[in-house]
Structure 1
Amino acid sequence: MGGARRRDGGRTGRVLSGAAVAVGLVLFLGGFLWAALAYRPYTVPTDSMTPTIARGARVLAERVDGAEVHRGDVVVFRNEVWGDVPMIKRVVGVGGDTVACCDRRGRITVNGRPVEEPYLQGAGPASPTGFSATVPGDRLFLLGDHRAGSADSRSHLTEDQGAVPRGAVSARVEAVAWPANAWGMLGRPGSFDALPGGTSRPGPLKWLVASVVAGAALVLGGAAYGPLARLLTRRQGRQGGAVVPHG
């Protein structure tokens, strides 16, 4: 009877371990392939986005259309006027907005409403130089988070008020992947929520990472079942075959 139960249990265990491996492969490969299609890695070449993103950091950016971009998003774009190379900046104004700096407390204003920017470094004004620009339709006003060292829309005010076409945007930064001590998702700044259109919703990266991790755990766990079960069976066999001495 005991042997039959062990055989049935072993059969069930093999079925469950096989199912775990199969489900794990689907989660792992599905999450990995989806992430590869939806996201692109970029290396940040300058310190214009510090302290949010450091120079040399590797980021993961979701491929999006420029029409999906909202205020507060950190975007990857390419524009001939700016040098025709991929750049990363933060959207602070969209078509029709009037963006200005600074109010009495050193904040930028969007359509006259002050915007708190907790991602900026230091306690100084949001821009070391004053400016005011009305963003043309279907364009974006972009600033770096390191305002004292960023060449951004403020440097191009004579060309379409410093704004770039939405079509220049190719991706929206979702997370920092490297260095390891800076790894994490980029938060959505709540300071832009009160403005019309609000902020964008996070992409699926968090769920894709969870899928890959869970899939890997299931594959490893399922694959480990066989060796562990055989080891346990051998130990039980040795214990069952031992001779117990009588006094």
Structure 2
Amino acid sequence: MSGTGRTDDGRGRLGGVLSNLAVAVGCVLFLGGSAWAAVVYKPYTVPTSSMSPTVNAGDRVLAERVDGDEVRRGDVVVFTDEVWGATPMVKRVVGVGGDTVACCDEAGRLTVDGDPIEEPYLRADGTASPAGTPASGKDFTAKVPEGSLFLLGDERTSSLDSRVHLEDTDQGAVPRSAVQARVDAVVWPMNGMIDRPEAFAALPGGVSAVGPLPLQAGSVGVGVLLILGGAAYGPLAALSARRGRRTRVPAGDR
């Protein structure tokens, strides 16, 4: 009996050490992932439907703080430009410095330097444009100045974007320095990550790399599981021990 007791005590101590270690590691992952996300990302509430169906009015998004020089075609960015108004706005980058952005070709598609761009994000089901459906309600051509970005909303029928400012000296473009952040995910409702459009990947410069949000979310999630698992070990071990004592038959009754 004494040998069994010492074995049980040893197992209990080892289990206690492991459970404490799990809680400690879980706290590090949870707090570290949360702090990392707070430094890298900033939450925004989208005020209008100009980016529908990708981002709708009232959606809560997480935007990675980036320098304007890091932005690539296809990115959804938060920016502020005095010509457009003094409040942060959310639009998609479709052209960068040196590009000629035009719409529409014979199939109704946007073109960048003559290359047609398929834009499945313009439709909620993510399919290609039906034949004859234009990517813009108005035809336009713009040469984007160096150091600038040409921005369009995904809701092309109502978005007030670079097309409205075509008569400005910069052909409707905004300076890269106006960009504050790049939208990576819609967190409320939980629509998930915003994909980098494949159509822009073949153009010079490619598309942006995915931000660190999945890694940060994974760190927080694993941390929560470790904390809960480690905290639950003590009560479960005690319950198991009590059940073991109740079922153990005294030596004198054998």
What TM-score do the two structures reach when normalised by structure 2?
0.93
- Write out aligned runs for 1:113-192 (5 A): 113-121=115-123, 123=130, 124-159=133-168, 160-180=170-190, 183-192=191-200
- Give the Cα–Cα distance (whole angstroms) in 1 for the partners of residues 159 and 250 of structure 2: 77
- Give the Cα–Cα distance (whole angstroms) in 1 for the partners of residues 183 and 225 of structure 2: 28
Identity %: 62
**Structure 1: runs of 5 or more not aligned:** none
- Count residues with an aligned counterpart: 244
1:12/1:245 CA distance change after superposition, 3 Å:
closer
1:244/1:98 CA distance change after superposition, 3 Å:
farther
- 1:13-38 deviation per Cα after TM superposition (whole angstroms, max 9, x unaligned): 01100110010000000000000010
1:84: how far off? 1.3
1:19 corresponds in structure 2 to: 21
1:92: how far off? 0.2
- Give the Cα–Cα distance (whole angstroms) in 1 for the partners of residues 69 and 252 of structure 2: 79
The residue matched to 1:188 in structure 2 has which SS? Answer: coil
Q: Which one of 29, 32, 35 corresponds to residue 33 of structure 1?
A: 35
**Structure 2: runs of 5 or more not aligned:** 124-128
1:228 corresponds in structure 2 to: 236
The residue matched to 1:36 in structure 2 has which SS? Answer: helix
1:139/1:213 CA distance change after superposition, 3 Å:
same
Q: Which one of 69, 90, 93 corresponds to residue 91 of structure 1?
A: 93
2:126 corresponds in structure 1 to: none
1:228 maps to amino acid = L
- 1:65-95 deviation per Cα after TM superposition (whole angstroms, max 9, x unaligned): 0000000000000000001110000000000
1:53 corresponds in structure 2 to: 55
1:112 aligns with 2:114: yes
2:224 maps to amino acid = A
1:99 maps to amino acid = V
CA RMSD of aligned residues (A): 1.4
- Give the Cα–Cα distance (whole angstroms) in 2 for the partners of residues 243 and 217 of structure 1: 42
- Give the Cα–Cα distance (whole angstroms) in 2 for the partners of residues 206 and 215 of structure 1: 14
- Give the Cα–Cα distance (whole angstroms) in 1 for the partners of residues 206 and 252 of structure 2: 76
- 1:90-149 deviation per Cα after TM superposition (whole angstroms, max 9, x unaligned): 000000000000000000110111111011137421001000000001000000000001
Q: Which one of 195, 198, 219 corresponds to residue 203 of structure 2?
A: 195
1:244/1:125 CA distance change after superposition, 3 Å:
farther
1:242: how far off? 6.6
2:176 maps to amino acid = R
1:245: how far off? 7.8
